[in-house]
Amino acid sequence: MPTIKTNDGTRIFYKDWGSGRPVVFSHGWPLNADAWDEQMRLVAENGYRAVAHDRRGHGRSDQPWRGNDMATYANDLAQLIEQLDLRDAVLVGHSTGGGEVVRYLGRHGTARVAKAVLLGAVPPVMLQGPGNPEGTPLEVFDGIRAGVDGNRSQFYWDLSESFYGFNRPGADLSGAEGLRRAFWLWSMQVGARGAYECVRQFSETDFTEDLKRIDVPVLIAHGDDDQIVPIAAAALKTARLVPDNVLKVYPGAPHGLYGEFRAAFEADLLDFLKA
């Protein structure tokens, strides 16, 4: 399997498809690079080089005891980009992966990056607080930690329903079971410590200053029925902090890419890449 080795000796698995301007995908929690396969194939077939990695602790990458934090995730992404010598890249991050992309841009700048895409991304900050009343209460994240720490298999299966919006009245359930099974399989590949520690990283990290530093065009894409990362505390605030952005709101769309939401986002992604 293709891997890079980070400064602390952690091996990071990655996929590398096609050729052309690199488009680098960062996945959400608790998934891995496979969650981007359809979009990787799409951009590779349209003349781009698609690269996606498994975050440390996830999928086929190593599961180190230490380093399960947003700064290290961003550093791992930086080392992937540098070791593959990617330039003029477009970074695409979903959910926690969006936080990873934003922290990378805040810490490492845009010397190798031309654009970025944030899909259902966690910035600026998910956790509810005095300055973020639209955020999600701490007890919700405590419940996620309890699920990971308890019967994680059942927890991931249950989570997949709201992740894709299959619990909504009138939801399109054709193919739902297959997608939920894939979500469960990817989730079960996450190491227990990495999965547990990542909850604090995606929920409590404040990306406000990172967002303000971004000096490349950003596509901000979010479903307005996202039950995992509610849009009011995420994309709508991010759009007020990023100097150069395009905001795309998908009516009735959930957190995970599926059906009409997937088709609409993929069209917007290709348009943004070509612009």
Sign of the alpha-carbon torsion through 94, 99, 101, 102 = positive
Per the annotation, the verdict on 95 as an active-site residue is yes
User: What does the alpha-carbon distance between residue 212 and residue 241 come to, in Å, rounded to a whole number?
Assistant: 6
* 242-246: average pLDDT: 97
- The pLDDT, as a whole number, for residue 19 is 98
What does the pLDDT look like over 185-213, one tens digit per residue? 999 999 999 999 999 999 999 999 999 99
Which residue is catalytic, options 95, 160, 187, 203?
95
Strand 48-53, strand 11-18: pairing: antiparallel
What does the pLDDT look like over 53-70, one tens digit per residue? 999 999 999 999 999 999
- The pLDDT, as a whole number, for residue 208 is 98
Q: What backbone torsions phi and psi does residue 15 show, to the nearest 5 degrees?
A: -110, 150
Name the β-bridge partners of 250: 223
- The pLDDT, as a whole number, for residue 148 is 97
- The pLDDT, as a whole number, for residue 227 is 98
Name the β-bridge partners of 93: 26, 118
What does the pLDDT look like over 145-179, one tens digit per residue? 999 999 999 999 999 999 999 999 999 999 999 99
Q: How confident is the model at residue 223 (pLDDT cuts 50, 70, 90)?
A: very high
The percent of residues in the chain predicted with pLDDT above 70, rounded, is: 100
Q: What is the DSSP letter of 233?
A: G
Tokens of 258: 């599926």
User: What does the alpha-carbon distance between residue 119 and residue 122 come to, in Å, rounded to a whole number?
Assistant: 9
Q: For the chain, give me the number of helices (H) and strands (E)?
A: 10, 8
| Owner of token pair 């936080």 | 99
CB-neighbour burial class of residue 100 (10 A; exposed 0-12, middle 13-18, buried 19+): buried
What does the pLDDT look like over 72-115, one tens digit per residue? 999 999 999 999 999 999 999 999 999 999 999 999 999 999 99
What domains sit in the chain, N to C, each tagged with a CATH number?
Answer: 3-274 (3.40.50.1820)
Asked if 98 contacts 211 with a C-beta cutoff of 8 angstroms, the reply is no
In whole numbers, what is the pLDDT of the chain averaged over residues?
98
Q: What is the DSSP letter of 27?
A: P
What does the pLDDT look like over 2-30, one tens digit per residue? 999 999 999 999 999 999 999 999 999 99
Name the β-bridge partners of 5: 11
Q: How confident is the model at residue 221 (pLDDT cuts 50, 70, 90)?
A: very high
Cis peptide, bond prior to residue 30, ω within 30 of zero: yes
Per the annotation, the verdict on 53 as an active-site residue is no
Per the annotation, the verdict on 19 as an active-site residue is no
